[in-house]
Amino acid sequence: EPEVTQTPSHQVTQMGQEVILRCVPISNHLYFYWYRQILGQKVEFLVSFYNNEISEKSEIFDDQFSVERPDGSNFTLKIRSTKLEDSAMYFCASSEAPGLVSNIQYFGAGTRLSVL
Amino acid sequence: LAKTTQPISMDSYEGQEVNITCSHNNIATNDYITWYQQFPSQGPRFIIQGYKTKVTNEVASLFIPADRKSSTLSLPRVSLSDTAVYYCLVDLVSGGYNKLIFGAGTRLAVHP
Cα radius of gyration (chain B): 14
Please report, rounded to a whole number, the percentage of residues in chain A having pLDDT higher than 90. Answer: 74
Q: Residue B35 in contact with residue B49, Cβ under 8 Å?
A: yes
Q: Which residues of A touch B96 (CB under 8 A)?
A: 31, 50, 55, 98
CATH number of the domain located at residue range(s) B9-94+102-111 in this protein? 2.60.40.10
pLDDT, average across residues A73-89: 96
Q: Give the closest-approach CA distance of A70 to chain B in angstroms.
A: 20
Separation of first and last alpha carbons in chain B: 38
Kindly report, residue by residue over A89-106, the tens digit of the pLDDT: 999 999 886 555 567 889
pLDDT band for position B26 (cuts 50, 70, 90)? confident
- Domains in chain A (CATH in brackets) are 5-115 (2.60.40.10)
Lowest mean pLDDT among A34-48, A99-113, B12-26, B61-75: A99-113
Can you list the positions of beta strands (E) in chain A? 5-7, 10-13, 19-24, 31-37, 43-50, 53-57, 65-68, 75-79, 88-95, 106-107, 111-115
pLDDT for the residue numbered A23: 97
pLDDT for the residue numbered A102: 61
Size of interface A-B (CB pairs under 8 A): 74
Kindly report, residue by residue over B61-111, the tens digit of the pLDDT: 999 999 999 999 999 999 999 999 999 988 755 545 577 888 889 999 999
What's the order of all strands across the beta sheet hosting B70-75?
B18-23, B70-75, B61-64, B53-56
Q: Give the closest-approach CA distance of A3 to chain B in angstroms.
A: 11
Q: What is the secondary structure of A31-42 as a DSSP string?
A: EEEEEEE-TTS-
Q: Which residues of A touch B45 (CB under 8 A)?
A: 107
Q: Which residues of B touch A110 (CB under 8 A)?
A: 41-43
Q: Give the closest-approach CA distance of B47 to chain A in angstroms.
A: 10
Instruction: List the single residue in A with minimal CA-CA distance to B43.
Output: A109
Kindly report, residue by residue over B29-55, the tens digit of the pLDDT: 878 899 999 998 899 999 999 999 999
**CA B93 – CA B12 distance, rounded (Å):** 34
Cα radius of gyration (chain A): 14
pLDDT, average across residues A37-63: 92
pLDDT for the residue numbered A96: 85
Q: Residue A75 in contact with residue A53, Cβ under 8 Å?
A: no
From the list B34, B49, B97, the residue facing A55 with the nearest CB is B97
For residue B94, the tally of other CB atoms under 10 A from its CB is 11
Q: Which residues of B touch A55 (CB under 8 A)?
A: 96-97
Residues of B with CB under 8 A from a CB of A: 31-32, 34, 38, 41-46, 49, 87, 91-105
**CA B18 – CA A49 distance, rounded (Å):** 36
Q: Give the closest-approach CA distance of B111 to chain A in angstroms.
A: 22
Q: Which residues of B touch A34 (CB under 8 A)?
A: none
**CA B78 – CA B16 distance, rounded (Å):** 6
pLDDT for the residue numbered B1: 53
Q: Residue A13 in contact with residue A19, Cβ under 8 Å?
A: yes
**CA A20 – CA A92 distance, rounded (Å):** 13
Type and span of the H or E element at B23: strand B18-23
